[in-house]
Structure 1
Amino acid sequence: MELITINNSIEKQVILEKDVTVSQGNFIEANTECVSLSHLKNECIIPNYSDSESTIAHSEFIDATNEVVHANFPETSVLEPNIRISHIIKGRVPTAIRKSVKELSPKEKTIYYQRCAFMIEVPSLSENVNNNKLSLTIGGVRALNQENLYSKRSLEKFKVFIGFKNQVCTNLCISTDGLNTDIRVSSVAELKDKINELIQQFDKDRFLGNMERMSKFSLNELQFGHTIGKMRMYTHLNREEKLDKLALLMNDNQIGTVVKNYYHDPNFSRSRNGDINLWDFYNLMTDANKSSYIDLNLERNANAFEFVTGMANSLQNQTYNWFLN
């Protein structure tokens, strides 16, 4: 793998949250840091494939998404991209090969990030769902650990979503209909077409209606405890045993976070009698999902929506559900 060198100052790699002129709060946490788009463009190298063909840079992906968002919503205000990165890869220029770390100057250090996630918020396109203000949000994920940089360049993989950000807690609300986790393209132009296709096909009203419906169904304390127990059991079932059940992608630590926040979350905790409606339960799940690594976050987020929607369907139709029964 070869690297294209760009003038870099590693001391400036991370910017403070208060300095970011984008939407407030973290849509993902885990081991991520917030960086600026200019940092990605001017202070990071771009990985190459073995045939010296360049990857599509994180900054190109973000710029492409930003252009498509502005084209689809030309008369609305759009915030600057909120960018989170993880898994920094450090290097040095060839002329500094024999220097100690202390002797390296900023120009001799190189970095890039293996994983990048971002969201672009359209605050003027907002909706009120279950007394929570939600704003339209578009974004994506690039995980270079899912590319074979030691081979010749082939189609590159990207993930793109469109959904809503809950202004109360900064949780992302995403459904499978608003998520494409397997975009494979060879150029930025093709990438723009795929992003535009997802935005155009997104059924906003259907998604909002399903979220609104969640608040109409509740679990009492006993049902909640039973469901949490089954969620912990699910992670240990074999593949065949999982086939006829709702899919669940959360890990055991995240399920534990849901339980903790059932008691203590300031916005979505249980009521006085121990009941919790499915909208609050859903937000406890999406909040716990913020601890997921970048390359798993979107899938787990969409899965939370499908899981709670399945619970609502079972309660409404009074049908058997392994997690409830």
Structure 2
Amino acid sequence: MDSITFEKTPNIIDSNTTMMELHPVQDKPTLSNNIEYVKPFKSKPFIEANTEEVDLLHLKKDCIIPVFSKDNEKTLAHQEFIEIAQNSIAKAFPHHSIELPEIRVSHQIKGRIPDAIHKQAKDLLEHEKTIYYERMAFIIRVPSISESINGNQLSLTIGGVRAYNQENLYNRRTFEKFKFFIGFQNMVCCNLCVSSDGFVEDLRVSSYQELQAKVLEIIQSYQAETHLNQMKDLSQQFLTEHQFATLVGRARLYQHLPKKLKSEIPELMFTDGHFNTIAKDYYQDESFCKDESGNINLWNVYNLFTQANKSSYIDTFLERNLNAFEFNQGIGKAISGNSDYHWFLS
């Protein structure tokens, strides 16, 4: 793998409702002209659920920007968040090619312009409709920075989530919330590999410049080698068929435990629906299923988790991805009997 170094740079620092006003984007730095942007690798989407793929131009040209209703201040738009990530990646990796962002959105919010106030919905013309998306997730790959684990190629990947449903748009503008990560993507299945070192769940900022400074700081602080070594360790640890069956059964019981007992066991954020997929793929997944003896290494189990997580909604997707990594690390320790996760194998 190429040595990963981070270049240190100074911080840079419808009209039926007032929440659906169109605002011009504020002045901001432009993307570097010295970076080569390439088309993204096309395969499976990194998240499925109820999402659809859009491009950056669609967000810029076809979507309005929500505002905080009590002071009519605009939110930081989805496209601004993505552009901030592009700027920051260009600064951190000035000598690498960078893919164009892969963007997934959900929960479309519809509106209309004032001139169409009396029209029925079926009679609206395209220019009379307004939309924005309540939830957005994106990733940007740096394909020239890669590694192989258990025969799977991984590429360095940066991305984030913005969910307006986690903002109080009916109030005045204060700090806005974002989720941001840097990690790796398994190119065999396009599953994301997220660690606590590279993920910030609650990134609160009050301006474009502050968001850019914090995003750049996260990228520069990420310990890629440590994360890769932790994932390689998973490939060296195995569950027997009996242990895997016990884990799945215990995981189903976990959601129904008494509150006191549940508080004494490490958190598991995956649901019965996820474990239905995990159990099925244990037998059927072409890349990560059990071997002929029924054994399965924890790298494959981890990927069964992240594969199942693609059915999660955007606003819980990254947290579950991190939980999958921490859970499988804990199971690895429990195999030797030294872990709070031992309950899942007992």
Same fold at TM > 0.5: yes
Query: Structure 1, residues 100-141: CA drift from partner, whole Å, max 9, x if none?
Result: 223211110000000000000000000111211000000000
| 2:176 corresponds to 1:156 | yes
Alignment RMSD = 1.5
- Among 266, 269, 277, the residue aligned to 2:289: 269
Query: Structure 1, residues 8-66: CA drift from partner, whole Å, max 9, x if none?
Result: xxxxxxxxxxxx93232210000000001000001000001111100000000000011
Distance, in Å, in 1 between the alignment partners of 2:331 and 2:145 is 29
1:104 corresponds to = 124
1:40 corresponds to = 59
2:135 corresponds to = 115
- Among 202, 223, 226, the residue aligned to 1:203: 223
| 2:77 corresponds to 1:77 | no
Query: Structure 1, residues 192-216: CA drift from partner, whole Å, max 9, x if none?
Result: 1111111111111111011000111
Contact 1:176 1:303 in 2 (8 A): no
Distance, in Å, in 2 between the alignment partners of 1:132 and 1:162 is 19
SS, match of residue 159 in structure 2: strand
SS, match of residue 56 in structure 1: coil
Distance, in Å, in 1 between the alignment partners of 2:316 and 2:338 is 32
Aligned length: 313
SS, match of residue 96 in structure 2: coil
TM-score of the superposed pair, with normalisation by structure 1: 0.93
| 2:50 corresponds to 1:31 | yes
> Any stretches of 5+ residues in structure 1 without a counterpart?
8-19
AA of the residue aligned to 2:39: T
| 2:24 corresponds to 1:4 | no
Residue 6 (structure 1) shift: 7.6
Map 1:162-177 to 2 at 5 A.
Answer: 162-177=182-197
SS, match of residue 132 in structure 2: strand
Map 1:110-149 to 2 at 5 A.
Answer: 110-149=130-169
Distance, in Å, in 1 between the alignment partners of 2:175 and 2:343 is 40
1:21 corresponds to = 39
- How high is the sequence identity, in percent, across the aligned residues? 50
Change (3 A) 1:111 1:6: farther
Residue 318 (structure 1) shift: 4.9
Distance, in Å, in 1 between the alignment partners of 2:305 and 2:149 is 17
> Any stretches of 5+ residues in structure 2 without a counterpart?
1-17, 25-37
Structure 1 window deviating more from structure 2 (215-224 vs 263-272): it is 215-224
TM-score of the superposed pair, with normalisation by structure 2: 0.88
Distance, in Å, in 1 between the alignment partners of 2:220 and 2:56 is 26
AA of the residue aligned to 1:53: E
Distance, in Å, in 2 between the alignment partners of 1:157 and 1:62 is 14
Contact 2:330 2:339 in 1 (8 A): no
Map 1:246-325 to 2 at 5 A.
Answer: 246-316=266-336, 318=338, 321-325=342-346
SS, match of residue 133 in structure 2: strand
SS, match of residue 320 in structure 2: helix
SS, match of residue 162 in structure 2: strand
SS, match of residue 248 in structure 2: helix
SS, match of residue 74 in structure 2: coil
Distance, in Å, in 1 between the alignment partners of 2:91 and 2:210 is 16
Change (3 A) 1:318 1:158: closer
Distance, in Å, in 2 between the alignment partners of 1:299 and 1:319 is 21
1:236 corresponds to = 256
Contact 2:98 2:141 in 1 (8 A): yes
Contact 1:88 1:111 in 2 (8 A): yes
